[in-house]
Amino acid sequence: MSTATITSKGQVTIPSKVRLALGLATGDRIEFVEVEKGQFAIVPATRSIRELNGMFRGRRTKPVSIQQMNADIARQASRSR
């Protein structure tokens, strides 16, 4: 079993054995997926851009202006405060 220590900044160094098993390299991203309450799996978040093809198809039928995008972003940001 591999172990790691959390720093005061909440950072963790992933042991080399785990990085190798996951096929991770410098700059790769990972996701923490909850598999059960209190238990998480670490999975590589290195997906191909091709996997995103069609993900948002059908969600919007007409183009949106930059001004509308900015207004929507501002509205969502004000809700999160």
**pTM (predicted TM-score):** 0.51
User: Any idea which fold 1-48 has?
Assistant: Pemi-like Protein 1; Chain: D (2.10.260)
Pick the closest to residue 30 from 17, 76, 18 (CA basis).
18
Structural domain boundaries in the chain: 1-48
Q: What are 33-70's pLDDT values in tens digits?
A: 888 888 988 888 876 667 667 766 666 567 888 999 99
Give residue-wise pLDDT tens across range 18-29. 999 988 889 888
CA distance 80 to 78: 6
List, in sequence order, every residue forming a beta bridge with 31; answer none if it has no partner: 43
What is the reported pLDDT for 47? 65
DSSP helix, strand, coil percent of the chain (3-state; round to 5): 30, 20, 50
pLDDT band at 15, cuts 50/70/90? very high
